[in-house]
Amino acid sequence: MRSHKLEKMPVVATAIVLLTGCVHHPPPQQFTAAAPFSRTFTGSGDAVCWSVKRALLSQGYMLDRPNDAGVLTGSRDEQPNPKLNVTMRLQTTCADNRNGTSIVFVTATREENQLQKMKQTTSMGVGPATLTMPSGSARVLGTVRRETIKDPDFYGQFFTLVQNFADQERVSQGSRLASDDDVAVPPAKRTARLTSELVQDAPPPDNRPQPRQSAVQPPPPNQ
């Protein structure tokens, strides 16, 4: 009996070590509030979504036509060398927070496709007597890498561009509202307002005494 207990002790110790290792090595955190994939902007949903669209178009992205409102998907192709094609895809979603702000979510993926050789075969025969023979090779594009971009600087540059367009849209809306207010004012009040502005902009009157003109008459002309 005692020998059986001694044989079980290494097994129990090994199990304890394994359990201890699992406790000290938790899985990496997958969800965090510090993720770089979203940002809140000042403005309505329509204005911010329009700014997102302008940001994508200004950088050469071709937009798809999604069915969901507020969702935009853009793609752009690059060819660093003759055998490599890189495709960048951005999917954005913008929503109005109903408090004067809007939130924008964006996810970017990078896909690399490389020109590769693929062997071709030809089948000859009928039924079980069919033979497959190599017939050469062809060059095709094959995906060699696909990943989701996680670089905060990449998303920071995109959000900065969206912010610039959102600021332009806000200034444009302010100008349109001012123009609408001028049209709504009656002509008489608009004229009075313009007169008041001209009076305010006019220089102050000159109150200095003016020089007196001489009363001496010029001599008569010679007869």
Identify residue 20 by its one-letter amino acid code.
Answer: T
- 85 domain residue, yes or no: yes
Read off the pTM. Answer: 0.61
Would you give the distance in Å from CA 106 to the centre of its chain?
A: 7
Residue with structure tokens 């050789």? 117
The more confident residue out of 106 and 140 is 106
28 pLDDT band, cuts 50/70/90, is confident
* 108/152 Cα distance (integer angstroms): 11
pLDDT for 180? 61
- 77 domain residue, yes or no: yes
- 214 domain residue, yes or no: no
- 83 domain residue, yes or no: yes
* DSSP E strands, the chain: 38-42, 62-63, 71-81, 84-96, 101-124, 131-148
- 218 domain residue, yes or no: no
Q: Which helix (H) or strand (E) holds 89?
A: strand 84-96
6 pLDDT band, cuts 50/70/90, is very low
- CB–CB of 60/74 below 8 Å? no
79 pLDDT band, cuts 50/70/90, is very high
Q: Tokens representing 141?
A: 């594009």
The number of domains in the chain is 1
What is the number of residues in the chain?
Answer: 223
- 202 domain residue, yes or no: no
CATH number of the domain residue 158 falls in: 3.30.310.80
Q: Which residues contact 90 (CB under 8 A, 6 or more apart)?
A: 56, 61, 72, 73, 74, 75, 106, 107, 108, 158
- 66 domain residue, yes or no: yes
75 pLDDT band, cuts 50/70/90, is very high
Q: Say yes or no to pLDDT of 132 above 90.
A: no
Range of the domain at 163: 33-111+142-181
The more confident residue out of 208 and 58 is 58
Q: Say yes or no to pLDDT of 78 above 50.
A: yes
- 165 domain residue, yes or no: yes
